[in-house]
Amino acid sequence: MKVAFAQLNYTIGDFEGNSDKIVSTIEKAKNNGADLVIFSELSVTGYYPHDLLEKKEFIQKAEETVLKIAGICNGIAAIVGAPRINESEHGKKLYNSAFFLSEGKIQSIHNKTLLPTYDIFDEYRHFEPNNEFCIVKHKGENIAITICEDLWDEQPSASEFGKDKLYQISPMEELIKFNPDFVVNISASPFSYNQEDWRKNVLISKAKKYKVPVLYINQVGAQTELIFDGGSVFISKTGEILKELKYFYEDFLIVDTKYIGGKQVQNPSGTIEKIHDALVMGIRDYFWKMNFKQATLGLSGGIDSAVTLVLAVRALGAENVRVLLMPSKYSSGHSLEDARQLAENLNVRYDVVNIQNAVDKFENELAPLFKGTSFGVTEENIQARVRGIFVMAISNKFGHILLNTTNKSESAVGYGTLYGDMNGGLAVIGDVYKMDVFKLSRFMNKDGEIIPENSIVKPPSAELRPDQKDTDSLPEYEDLDQILFNYLELNKSPQEIVEIGFNENVVTRVIRMVNMNEYKRFQAAPILRISSKAFGFGRKMPLVAKY
C-alpha cells in the first residue's frame, strides 16, 4: 500500500486554515498515487486546545470540518485527528479520536486509550479513555490505528519516581490480536532536546516486539511554548528506521509498505543545533500565528540578550527587530560597544538611551522615604525597572513584541526583577541553562564572529552596582546548572544531589532559592520549551508552601 506521510504545521482553532492544508495535501497524495494519507493527532483542531474543548461551538466546528474533509476522500483514504463527542451517559464528554475517511465519508473512528496526565499533558481533564479495539481493512491490508501515547505504555524513564508503570493496559496487546499488517501512530509529541532518542527507542521496541511495521506521523511547528519537531518515521518490523522526515519543517513523503526502496533518513544533528533550530521555529511560529510582525528587546552587551537577538533575527529577519541599548553609570564602556557591534553585525536598528537621568529622578523622589537606609537590591531593581519601562514603551508605541532574555538558570533561582528584566511577551531562552547559552553563542559564531568575543568570555554581570558579577550572588554556573538539572529535570532530592559530589550548603541554598521564587515565575512570560521539564505548564508548584 502506498501511504503518504503529511507532516504539517497547524494552528489551534484555525479550522479553515488547518482543513485547507489537509485537503490540499490529500489532493497532492491522490495525484501522486497514494492509497492512504496520514495526519497527526488532533490535526483538525491543532494540539493542544486546552479548555477550548469545553466550548460546544468549538466541538461542533471540529465535527463539521471532519465531514468536509471526508467529502473529498474519494479514490484515496485519510486518517485525521479530532475530538469526538462521547455519546455514553458515563465518563468525560469527549474522546481524542482518529477518523478513518474513505469514499466520501467517515468509515470508522478510533479513540485514544492512554491519556497522559504528566508534565505538559493533561488530557484526562477533557477526554475519556478508549476501551474498545478494532482495526481497519483497506486495500487488502489490516491497519491498526493508534494515537501518540498509545505506544508509550512502557515509559523509557522508568528510573524516575512514579514513571515506570503509568498504565494498566497496552493498546498494542489488544490490537495485535487482529493480526495487523502495519501500525499507524498519529502523534503530537513535543520536542525536548533529549527526547528524540527516547521516542525512536519506543517506536523501535514496539515494531520489534510485535513484529509489525510502525508508521509514525508527528506534528511540526510551535504552539506558544510547545514546540513540535516533526521527525516522522517509517520503521520496519525488525525495528529498522527506513524513512525519516525532516525536523522543524513541514514535509511530505509517500512510502510503499511492500516495496520500500532505499533508506532515507535525516543527517544527525547535535544537541545545541537542535535547541537552536527549535527556538528559531518557536519565535517564528509565535509571531506568525499571533499575526505579530516585529520584535524588540534590551541589548546589554551580555551573552543572554546577544543570543536572544541572534535567534530573533534568524526567525523574523533583521528588518523586523529593533533593540535598545540602555547604559547606566554602572555599565562598562565595553558592554555598550559590544552591544553596538552585535547590532551592526546583524544590521539591526538600535537606539541608545542612557537611563541614568531617569534612575536619578526615581532615587531623588524616593530619598525621603529611604532616609537612613543604604544602597541595596531595591536601588538595583529600580534600574532594571527603568529599562523595562523604556523597552515596554517601544513595544506599546510601535506594536513590537518584547522578547524576554532571562535564561533558565537565573529564572530558577529568582535572579531577575519582576516588572523589569522579567518583562516580555515571550521568554526565548527561559528553558536554556546558562552554560548552554554559552554553547549556543559558539554555535552561532561557527562560520564567523557574529556575537562579539568579549560578550562570550567576560564574567556575566547584571551591571547594577560597581564591579558586580553574577557569582557575587550565585554559585559558579557550571555547578549551578548541574544542581538545577538534577533537582528540576531528574527530580532528585537534595541528599541525592549532595551524594553526587556537590557541597551540601550550596545545594541547600540553591534549592531554597528555587522554591522561594515560585511566585516570580508564576508571573513570567510564556517560555519556549526545549527540555523535558520547563517552567510553566509542565511544572506546577504551589506558590505558598513550607515544604
Catalytic residues: 41, 112, 148
Q: How many C-beta atoms surround the C-beta of residue 142 within 10 A? A: 15
Q: Is the dihedral of CA 26, 68, 104, 108 positive or negative?
A: positive
- Here the contacts of 289-295 (C-beta below 8 Å, separation 24 or greater) are 289/11, 289/222, 289/223, 292/399, 292/401, 293/320, 293/399, 294/320, 294/321, 294/322, 294/398, 294/399, 294/400, 294/401, 295/320, 295/321, 295/322, 295/400, 295/401, 295/402, 295/403
**3-class DSSP state of 83:** strand
Here the cell at position 263 is 533508506
Cβ atoms 471, 465 nearer than 8 A? no
Helix residue spans in 367-428 (DSSP H): 377-398, 408-413
Q: Is the dihedral of CA 502, 505, 511, 513 positive or negative?
A: negative
Contacts of residue 495, Cβ cutoff 8 Å, sequence gap at least 6: none
Here the cell at position 332 is 562598562
Which string of DSSP letters, residue by residue, matches 5-54?
EEE-B--TT-HHHHHHHHHHHHHHHHHTT-SEEE--TTTTT-S--GGGGG
Alpha carbon distance 34, 255 (integer Å): 8
Q: Kindly report the CA angle at 484 between 481 and 490, in degrees rounded to 5? A: 120
Phi and psi of 459, rounded to 5°?
A: -60, 130
Q: HSE-up of 237 (CA within 13 Å, CB side)?
A: 11
Alpha carbon distance 444, 272 (integer Å): 10
Alpha carbon distance 37, 2 (integer Å): 9
Q: Which residue has the cell 533561582?
A: 413
**3-class DSSP state of 329:** coil
